[in-house]
Amino acid sequence: MHNEIHTAEHKPTSNFLSAVGAVVWKDLAAELRSRELLSAMLVFALLVILIFNFALELDPQTRRVATPGILWATFAFAGTLGLNRSMAVEKDRGCLDGLLLAPVDRSAIYFGKTISNLAFMLIVEVIVLPVYSVLYNTNLFNPGLIVVILLGSVGYVAVGTLLSSMAVQTRTRDVMLPILLFPVVIPILIAAVKASSGFLQGLALPEVMPYINLLIVYDVIFTAAAYMVFDYVVEE
């Protein structure tokens, strides 16, 4: 009897995780076949850093100061492009309706889409960092900076996935997502730029920690909020 209760308690959790895994796997497999999303994000990100490189012929010191702003502008715009495309593809192919009709908790769809969007954004960042380092002659392989990029990307994608699922329902979805997203993610972008700048300038950890803490709090609060409201958002 005890074993049966124990199994019943674990079954919903395993079903939820397998549903999340299925959504992630579907997105990754579809992207592996088409390569539409990643190629668009990558080309856009590389173009942005190339334009900045030729437009801002700065001395090494000024270049180091400008690096966090350039990096996060690149990540934010490439990430928005990816979020928009990710949901638009689901909507246009009718996959979104199929996902919503699946007999699983809808928050599993949210977490699945968030993880796959985060994976695409991290792949772009992994390619952009070495290219940026070579172009700008700046060493970006700083453990603190990597942690900031990871925390910033998690918060950005957590909010972006929720808002893109709202924006995709509108006719002007390409314009609507940036209008909804950027005002909400301003705190995370400011904190990420400040923390990145602190690590690149070699500041002591206590000086950077307030921004790291802000990123962590933002990630937790907005992921929890998105988890609670996603069901209502996709029903509209």
pLDDT of residue 103: 65
Phi, psi of 155 (to 5 degrees): -65, -40
Mean pLDDT confidence for 209-228: 94
> How many CB atoms within 10 Å of residue 217?
13
- What are 101's two structure tokens? 């009709």
pLDDT of residue 102: 64
Check: CB of residue 161 under 8 Å from CB of residue 114: yes
**What is the residue-averaged pLDDT of the chain?**
85
Residue 141 C-beta-side C-alpha neighbours within 13 Å: 7
Q: Angle CA(148)–CA(149)–CA(154) in degrees, nearest 5?
A: 100
Q: Residue 9 above 60 pLDDT?
A: no
More confident residue, 2 or 121: 121
pLDDT digit string, tens, across residues 27-36: 888 888 888 8
- Cα distances from 46 to residues 34, 73, 75, 98, in angstroms, run 20, 12, 10, 35
- Calculate what percentage of the chain has a pLDDT beyond 70: 86
More confident residue, 216 or 30: 216
Q: Is the dihedral of CA 132, 136, 137, 140 positive or negative?
A: negative
- What are 224's two structure tokens? 């929890």
Q: Residue 7 above 60 pLDDT?
A: no
Instruction: Give the span between the Cα atoms of 59 and 31, in whole angstroms.
Output: 40
pLDDT of residue 13: 72
Mean pLDDT confidence for 85-108: 70
pLDDT of residue 3: 44
- What are 63's two structure tokens? 């270049």
pLDDT of residue 54: 81
Q: Residue 154 above 90 pLDDT?
A: yes
